[in-house]
Amino acid sequence: MKKRFYLVFLLAFIIGISVVSALGVSPGLKKYNFQPGFETEIEYRVFANTGQELEIYVIGDLKDYVELSKKSLIGSGKFIARIKLPESIEKPGKHRIAIGVREVKDEELVAGGAIGTSVTIYTSIDIYVPYPGKYLEISLEGHDANVGEPINFILDIISKGKEDVMVIPRIEIYSQEKKIGNLLYSPRTIKSQEEVSLKKTLDTSNYNPGKYSAAAIVDYGGLATDDFDFKIGELVIDVVDYSKQVFIGKLQPFNIQIESGWNDMIDGAYAEIYFFNETKFFEKFKTTSTSLVPWERKTITGYFDSSNFTQGVYNANITLIYYGKQIGKSSSEIVEIEFVKAKSMSMWYLIGGAGLLIIIVLIVLKFVLKNAKGTKSKNKKTSKKAK
Q: Using 50, 70 and 90 to split pLDDT, how confident is the model at 13?
A: very low
Looking at residues 293-298, what average pLDDT do you find? 96
**Alpha-carbon gap, residue 148 to 130, rounded angstroms:** 43
Cα 353 to its chain centre, rounded Å, is 40
Percentage of residues of the chain with pLDDT beyond 90: 73
Confirm if 5 and 36 have CB atoms less than 8 A apart. no
Q: Half-sphere exposure of residue 127, counting CA atoms within 13 Å on the CB side?
A: 27
- Which residue type sits at 320? L
Triad 233, 259, 255: Cα angle to 5°: 160
Residue 54 has pLDDT above 90, yes or no: yes
Q: Is the dihedral of CA 5, 6, 9, 11 positive or negative?
A: negative
pLDDT at 279 (0 to 100): 82
pLDDT at 362 (0 to 100): 82
Highest-scoring range by mean pLDDT, 4-13, 112-121, 214-223, 347-356: 214-223
**Alpha-carbon gap, residue 296 to 238, rounded angstroms:** 11
- Which residue type sits at 374? G
pLDDT at 29 (0 to 100): 95
Residue 305 has pLDDT above 90, yes or no: yes
Cross-strand partners of 269: 290
Instruction: Please state whether the predicted TM-score (pTM) of the whole model is above 0.75.
Output: no
Tell me which of 172-176, 351-355, 377-381 is least confident: 377-381
If you count them, how many residues does the chain have? 387
CATH fold of the domain at 136-233: Immunoglobulin-like (2.60.40)
Q: Using 50, 70 and 90 to split pLDDT, how confident is the model at 352?
A: low
Residue 330's alpha-carbon distances to 54, 99, 369, in angstroms, are 64, 59, 66
Q: What element of type H or E holds 118?
A: none
Architecture label for domain 2-129 = Sandwich (2.60)
**Alpha-carbon gap, residue 27 to 48, rounded angstroms:** 15
Residue range 205-250, pLDDT digits in tens: 999 999 999 999 999 989 999 999 999 999 999 999 999 999 998 8
| List of residues 6+ apart from 116 with CB closer than 8 A | 105, 107
Residue ranges of the chain that CATH labels 2.70.50.60: 237-342
**Alpha-carbon gap, residue 48 to 45, rounded angstroms:** 10
Task: Tell me which DSSP letter residue 105 carries.
Answer: -
- Which residue type sits at 191? K
Confirm if 59 and 65 have CB atoms less than 8 A apart. no
Q: Using CB atoms within 10 Å of the CB of residue 359, give its burial: 0 to 12 exposed, 13 to 18 middle, 19+ buried.
A: exposed
Residue ranges of the chain that CATH labels 2.60.40.10: 2-129, 136-233
**Alpha-carbon gap, residue 167 to 136, rounded angstroms:** 10
3-state secondary structure 11-76: HHHHHHHHCCCCEEEECCCEEEECCCCCEEEEEEEEEECCCCEEEEEEECCCHHHEEECCCEEECC
- From the DSSP assignment, how many helices (H) and strands (E) are in the chain? 2, 27
Q: Residue 190 in 3-state DSSP?
A: strand
CATH fold of the domain at 237-342: Coagulation Factor XIII; Chain A, domain 1 (2.70.50)
How many of the other CB atoms lie within 10 Å of CB of 61? 12
